[in-house]
A and B are shown apart, each in its own frame.
Chain A
Amino acid sequence: MTGLIRRTFVALDEEIFKSLYVALIRPHLEYANQPRRHCEMTIYNLYLFDRDGQLLYYAEWTRKKQSGMTKDEEAKLMYGMIFSMKSFVTKVSPVDLREGYMSYATNKYCLNLYETPSKLKFVLNTDTHAQGIKELLHQLYTQVYVEYVVFNPLCSLNKPIESELFATKLDEVVKQSPAYASRPA
């Protein structure tokens, strides 16, 4: 583009070049810059429910707004919502569902629900641009939950998880995922 300006305009002084630069080159730079601005991705929080709707584990990373109720109440309400959403989805769906994964997005965030065959429910809130959350949730299940809770003889499967090892590993995996990475912690 600069070459084009140099070729076309014979009498180039600093003033003219500046106005040409603003008119011709800057829009390109700004356009190229835009996708970068949208790439800010983050993971807000995670709920893990067992098959009876009990909250097994809760973690949050960059949550900016609290819902204004106790953790206990919030978990019950959240379970109630995903339970009725699941029934809504199966009823409304025009064809049979294959796997236990679904997500919804609002203009600010995206909620991802992954249900394992044993009815364990992983709920992960991310921002709307996050990619590959399904794989991340699957990874959390197979590489963190199964490894550090199911294989741990001290962990009871139907009690809230208190294992510190589980908490650190979970934090590690989430922070390593590309969906979390692009925002400074």
Chain B
Amino acid sequence: MTINSVYILSKSGGLIYQHDHNIPTLEHEKTFSFPLEIKLELQNRNVVVSYGQRDGIKVGHQLAAINGVKVTTAQLEDGRDAMQVLADEANYPINLKFTRPKLTTNEKIFQASMFYPLYALASQFSPEPKSSGIEVLEADNFRMNCLQTLTGVKFMVISDPKQSGIDGLLHRIYELYADFALKNPFYSLEMPIRCELFDEHMKSALEHSEKLGISNV
């Protein structure tokens, strides 16, 4: 029963608010001996698993630490290059920690603007006349609910598929948007929402509906 994150898109498709509420961190640690059983490669300056998933470590996961030392952008905290450390046989056995990559802010903006055409296409492909765009998008282990207001603003909530009461939450977020963003004299339309009161109320609304979702089940 979790709500993972909230996205708000302006009517022109830009991301104007994003909040990560409860993102599970997936970490897998394993000690390897030489030679390495999995194939790693550099992607966007990160060390990423490209072949050989095993023990929960999947293709696409990022290298997060070597022997407990953090790795960021393919460099260890002490300045050594991660790929060189991995290539040297003298460093083995070696303990590696992998995580599922988190979205960076840029990627979030990119993904949010990608949803806009999906929404529009979905109503074009409809086999029945007068269909709306995507309202619920469901995959194996998450669900995304989307509410489009009459003015074209989209609210999206990503949650556990079993979470209930999302429709109510979406309307509550709409209310908050109207109360704390639109009624704020310093807020200009289509711009990112930076407002403390809005943040606070959003957090409490999310926590409230998470609790409610549990008691309903």
Q: Mark B163-201, 1 if CB is under 8 A from A, else 0.
A: 000000000000000000000000000000000000000
Q: Are B127 and A93 in contact (CB under 8 A)?
A: no
Chain B residues whose CB sits within 8 angstroms of the CB of A67 once the complex forms:
124-125
For chain A, the count of residues having a C-beta within 8 Å of the partner chain is: 38
The answer on a CB contact under 8 Å between A107 and B135 is yes
Tell me what chain A mostly uses at the interface: helix, strand, loop, or mixed: mixed
A104 within 8 A of B: yes
Are B127 and A85 in contact (CB-based, < 8 A)?
A: no
- Verify if A28 is at the interface (C-beta below 8 Å from B): no
Whether a CB of chain A sits under 8 angstroms from the CB of B134 is yes
Are A104 and B138 within 8 A (Cβ)? yes
Question: How distant is A87 from chain B, measured CB to nearest CB, in Å?
Answer: 8
B97 to chain A: closest CB distance in Å?
16
User: What residues of chain B lie closer than 8 Å to A102, measured between beta carbons?
Assistant: 137-140
Stretch in contact with the other chain, from A10-18, A76-84, A159-167: A76-84
Among residues of A, the one whose C-beta sits closest to the C-beta of B131 is A108
A selection of 25 A-B contacts at a CB cut-off of 8 Å is A63-B127, A64-B129, A67-B124, A81-B117, A81-B121, A81-B125, A85-B118, A87-B114, A93-B139, A93-B141, A94-B4, A94-B5, A94-B142, A96-B58, A96-B141, A101-B139, A102-B140, A104-B135, A104-B137, A105-B136, A106-B133, A108-B126, A108-B128, A108-B129, A108-B130
